[in-house]
A and B are shown apart, each in its own frame.
Chain A
């Protein structure tokens, strides 16, 4: 009886400990993913490229939140609150930083327009170069037909 009670207490303690310190059963994001999207501010590389103490501290920061089942957005928001926007590898989509997102798209669109316009002009110029076949006047055509009729 005593042994059973003792075992029950041990099991209860283990369960309580596991639930207090246990990892999230279904993490919403992986450390590996965030390591490629979060910067080590002093090394100027993403976390996966650095072994510095700063990078280790930030990885620890992220791991704790992953274990708490926090979402990627929540973790990133916490990171920005602590380390500022420099912590994110991709610039935020607002204010001046928005330019970093739109400039490449604008550049690609402008380049596509330029190429399209160039191709259109080139085709027009080529079409102008090729002279249309001149049609024979009816008299010449009749004489040509007569001549050809001799050889048939």
Chain B
């Protein structure tokens, strides 16, 4: 009788420990926006337009603007031409733009970049893994990475060409592109 009671207690304790373990796992794997000043989360993702992958590490030494978007997101359409224009303007200063199309159909993503004349590299993130690492909660969202691979400036939520985001974009880009 005592053995049965002891077994029951051990089973109950194991169940509680298992559930606590799951809770801890969930909390530690929740996406949090990376800290400004810290290293930008690394990624390597498939190119949207064709074969091959683009790794963020291959862009070390350049300032990088990472823009998360989806083809069905209306504010993404609003900012698309402004982003392309900014890329054309700043690329000569060694600034690279990278679009990350996440949770999206490949065909629709391609149509989106063609329709808006996007010429900078665009990668796809079907499972939202990269978006998760950056703590993206909606689209569009834009991050800035300096030449040493650190996140700098603002984390812009919404179109870069609307309201206060316009000045935030310019200032953050200037910080990222600065040569130290």
B79 at the interface (CB under 8 A from A): no
Interface string of A20-63 (1 = CB under 8 A from B): 00000000000000000000011000000000111011100100
Known: A41-B128, A121-B4. A83 touches B72 (CB 8 A): no
A82 at the interface (CB under 8 A from B): yes
A34 to B72, CA, bound (A): 20
Q: Which of B8, B71, B103 contacts A42 (CB 8 A)?
A: B103
Give residues of chain B (1-33) contacting chain A, Cβ–Cβ below 8 Å.
4, 8, 11, 15
Closest to B127 in A: A84
19 CB-based A-B contacts, threshold 8 Å? A41-B103, A42-B103, A42-B138, A53-B72, A54-B73, A54-B103, A56-B72, A57-B71, A57-B72, A57-B108, A61-B105, A81-B106, A82-B106, A83-B103, A83-B104, A84-B127, A84-B128, A110-B11, A114-B8
Closest to A39 in B: B103
Say whether A42 contacts B70, CB under 8 Å.
yes
Say whether A82 contacts B104, CB under 8 Å.
yes
Closest to A99 in B: B22
A side interface size, CB within 8 A: 21
Q: Which of B15, B70, B129 contacts A54 (CB 8 A)?
A: B70
Q: Contacts of B70 on A, CB cut-off 8 Å?
A: 42, 54
- Min Cβ gap A130→B in Å is 19
Q: Contacts of A67 on B, CB cut-off 8 Å?
A: none
Give residues of chain A (67-110) contacting chain B, Cβ–Cβ below 8 Å.
80-87, 110
Say whether A84 contacts B71, CB under 8 Å.
no
A87 to B105, CA, bound (A): 11
Q: Contacts of B11 on A, CB cut-off 8 Å?
A: 110
Say whether B103 contacts A86, CB under 8 Å.
yes
Q: Which among A61, A85, A86 has the greatest number of chain B C-beta atoms within 10 A?
A: A86
- Min Cβ gap B180→A in Å is 37
Known: A41-B128, A83-B126, A86-B127. A57 touches B105 (CB 8 A): yes
